[in-house]
Amino acid sequence: MVNYKDLGLVNTREMFKKAVTGGYAIPAFNFNTMEQMQAIVMAAVETKSPVIMQVSKGARNYANATILRYMAEGAVAYAKELGCPNPEIVLHLDHGDSFELCKDCIDMGFSSVMIDGSSLPYEENIALAKKVVDYAHQFDVTVEAELGVLAGVEDEVSSAESHYTKPEEVIDFSTRTGCDSLAISIGTSHGAHKFTPEQCTLVNGVLVPPPLAFDILHEIEKKLPGFPIVLHGSSSVPMEEVNTINKFGGHLEAAIGIPEEQLREAAKSAVCKINIDSDSRLAMTAAIRQHLAEHPGDFDPRQYLKPARENMKKMYIHKIVNVLGSDGKLG
């Protein structure tokens, strides 16, 4: 059993309290590789932002669970080496789908876990989340649970259609589970294809997706004043990255994300954690494609992973400063 406090990690409790009252959101960036981890830490240190580094089940399968945990421990040491004496880094399990997976992560040093029982019947979702909360709270690990179903398809996360969170259920759910934060469904979804062109309106040659259900968010806020709310599926799928990928041999059609103004608005509310993964994948792929197309003789991974890391760092800094507003909120 490893306790996250011995690794220099923190849980989400204090940072969420400050984010909700301060009208900003904490970035939750997924990582699978060393370059993503480095870019996240560099961006958080440069902007003096708290940060959540999250690991999915797919990431554990790809990179190995133990290696990812050591990378998070390394992230704390790296932040200090970069000149940040007291970094606030959370190591979070993203979309945990069983008690056993959550327990495994807690036992190996995670400071926060998500138990995603959102596809289960309501009572089963509550029972599973409560079981995880009861275990996690013994070690002061915080727990995110989810109510409502997001649309979208990803490797390990799939749901064909979305069901918005029902505001009338949130008090009962949060009270009976004891969860520390609640992920809700208000129109975001996973991946780089969040909307079909038919669902969007053409404004000045740009496809604008339908707005998020802010009415539902505000109703939830009224029912649970000050309670930390989480938004998954919040990549904005920047057109410049999609265009670069397509210009240099890729083929991404109708890639549409959540407009950043809407995320900025959400961050000012009780939404205090915003999950971004796809934008990092796009930034990495765009830089690698461009580098290899322009330097066909290069074959040392460092030659193309360095611009990829730079491009991800630029994107993370942009999100922190211009979208979530968590810059300067350390300490």
Please identify, using beta-carbon distances, which residue of 190 and 291 lies nearer to ligand G3H.
Answer: 190
Stretch that binds ligand 13P, among 38-46, 126-134, 271-279, 306-314 (CB under 6 A): 271-279
Q: Is 58 in the site for ligand G3H (CB under 6 A)?
A: yes
Q: Which does 155 bind (CB under 5 to 8 A by kind): ligand 13P, Zn ion, ligand G3H, none?
A: ligand G3H
Stretch that binds ligand G3H, among 123-131, 155-163, 179-187, 283-291 (CB under 6 A): 155-163
CB of 20 closer than 8 Å to CB of 272: yes
Q: Is 277 in the site for ligand 13P (CB under 6 A)?
A: yes
Please identify, using beta-carbon distances, which residue of 231 and 272 lies nearer to ligand G3H.
Answer: 231
Write phi, then psi, for 8 (nearest 5 degrees).
85, 10
**Burial bucket for residue 264 (CB in 10 Å: 0-12, 13-18, 19+):** middle
Is there a catalytic annotation at residue 298?
no
In the complex, the smallest distance separating the C-beta of residue 257 from ligand G3H, rounded to whole angstroms, is: 13
List the interface residues with ligand G3H, window 225-284 (CB under 6 A). Answer: 232, 277
Structure tokens at 149: 């179903």
Binding mask 195-234 for ligand 13P (x = CB under 6 A): -------------------------------------xxx
List the interface residues with ligand G3H, window 95-114 (CB under 6 A). Answer: 95
Query: Which one of residues 157, 229, 317, 320 is an interface residue with ligand G3H (CB under 6 A)?
Result: 157
β-strands 158-159, 229-231: how paired? Answer: unpaired
**Own/partner pairs, 2-5, CB within 8 angstroms, 24+ separation:** 2/69, 2/107, 2/108, 2/109, 3/109, 3/139, 4/91, 4/109, 4/110, 4/111, 4/139, 4/141, 5/111, 5/140
CA distance 236 to 318: 12
Of 190, 174, 209, the closest CA to residue 30 belongs to 190
Out of 6, 94, 140, 180, the active site residue is 94
Q: Is 60 in the site for Zn ion (CB under 5 A)?
A: no
Please identify, using beta-carbon distances, which residue of 311 and 330 lies nearer to ligand 13P.
Answer: 311
Amino acid at 298: D
Name the helix (H) or strand (E) containing 158. Answer: strand 158-159
Please identify, using beta-carbon distances, which residue of 155 and 215 lies nearer to ligand G3H.
Answer: 155
How many angstroms separate the first and last alpha carbons of the chain? 28
Please identify, using beta-carbon distances, which residue of 124 and 155 lies nearer to ligand G3H.
Answer: 155
Site residues for ligand 13P per CB under 6 A = 30, 94-95, 190-191, 232-235, 275-279
The residues carrying an active-site annotation are: 94
